[in-house]
Amino acid sequence: MAVPIAVLDCDLLLYGRGHRTLDRFKLEDVTDEYLVSTYGFPRQFICYLVDLLGATLSRPTQRSRAISPETQILAALGFYTSGSFQTRMGDAMGISQASMSRCVANVTEALVERASQFIHFPKDEATVQALKDDFYALAGMPGVLGVVDCTHVAIKAPNAEDLSYVNRKGLHSLNCLMVCDSRGVLLSAETHWPGSLPDCTVLEQAALSSQFETELHKDGWLLGDSSFLLRTWLMTPLHIPETPAEYRYNMAHSATHNVIERTFRTIRSRFRCLDGSKGTLQYSPEKSSHIILACCVLHNISLQHGLDVWSAPTTGHMEQSEEEYEQMESVDSEACRVRQELLLTHFS
């Protein structure tokens, strides 16, 4: 009898407390209300993720009982939406905290691999025009392809010597550059920038800037706040409006740009691992960046499934930007000409 007991003890060490309950946890065994309250999403959404990620998460294993894709996805959703590895959730699925952590890592990488599938600008002319029309319907701002802004997500200190992630509030963070459409769908998300970089520097160095300089700027422009420089493809507010047309332009700009502020708040409230309520992300900058991007992918998928971006509660704390920026003055004469022409054509 000594040998079987030793084997059972090793099994618990390898697979975690409650391992034998793994193959008994099934989606059909719990209510919709339980799924939403515990994992943040309804059954249909979770089943879609199982279909989407199942092949990637079903890796060959030496273990007789590998954790199923379904369980891995539920564990990851539980962390994303609650921000913690509470043992209650692990107990519900029969896995240890260490296994929970591995599940989050696996699902995060699987979602990051698919980021370009779900986060991108439209390419065909009809969809681009529909994008502009939807923005115009908000507040009368023409030619808008997206609204852009940065938001900081707190992370643990990488090491004592690395100050590049320390933002102007003295906290370690990642500065995330994002663009969304009028519904809050993310069109671009760069989540890896160190928190010490100001928003304007992030945009200058971002792939987004190169993309618009070389591909999209002739089709319209983005809207950015005063932390960014005016470009031919990026319209910013006027620092000191003087004429009625300039006031109307600033009002339309502000009302339209507010979409991304609401989107940030919704993402933070839906994915509490990002809102700081349970502490900073306890991962390296690279892994933290991937978790943020995975949440961005899930945000867009949720909109595809009719989970309205504005219907989620907005109780999470939201930091729009860690920097106290000064008004950025553009030296781009062509950009000034484009904005002036916009004022004369549409707001005079």
> Same domain for 124 and 168?
yes
53 domain residue, yes or no? yes
Q: For 81-103, how does the pLDDT look when each residue is reduced to its tens digit (9 = 90+)? A: 988 765 556 666 667 788 888 99
Q: Residue 61: its pLDDT value, please?
A: 55
> Same domain for 103 and 172?
no
Last residue of a domain, one of 96, 117, 138: 117
Name the pTM for this structure.
Answer: 0.86
314 domain residue, yes or no? no
248 domain residue, yes or no? yes
**Rounded (to 5) percent helix, strand, coil in the chain:** 55, 10, 35
pLDDT band at 187 (very low <50, low <70, confident <90, very high): very high
Q: For 294-326, how does the pLDDT look when each residue is reduced to its tens digit (9 = 90+)? A: 999 999 999 999 887 554 444 444 344 444 445
The secondary structure element, H or E, covering residue 117 is helix 115-118
Mean pLDDT of 226-251: 95
Task: Specify whether the CB–CB gap between 230 and 249 falls below 8 A.
Answer: no
> Same domain for 266 and 335?
yes
> Same domain for 164 and 232?
yes
Query: Does the pLDDT of residue 292 top 80, yes or no?
Result: yes
> Same domain for 272 and 157?
yes
Q: Who has greater pLDDT, 283 or 328?
A: 283
Domain count, the chain: 2
- State which residues form the domain around 111: 32-57+67-117
Average pLDDT, the chain: 84
> Same domain for 150 and 107?
no
Q: Who has greater pLDDT, 19 or 161?
A: 161
Q: Who has greater pLDDT, 209 or 278?
A: 209
20 domain residue, yes or no? no
Instruction: Identify each DSSP E strand in the chain by its residue range.
Output: 144-154, 173-180, 186-194, 221-223, 234-235
Last residue of a domain, one of 117, 132, 154: 117
Q: Residue 329: its pLDDT value, please?
A: 59
> Same domain for 125 and 205?
yes
> Same domain for 83 and 133?
no
Q: Please give the backbone phi and psi of residue 223, each rounded to the nearest 5 degrees, phi first.
A: -110, 130
Q: For 27-57, how does the pLDDT look when each residue is reduced to its tens digit (9 = 90+)? A: 777 888 888 888 889 999 999 999 999 999 9
Last residue of a domain, one of 95, 117, 139: 117
156 domain residue, yes or no? yes
d(CA 38, CA 164): 36
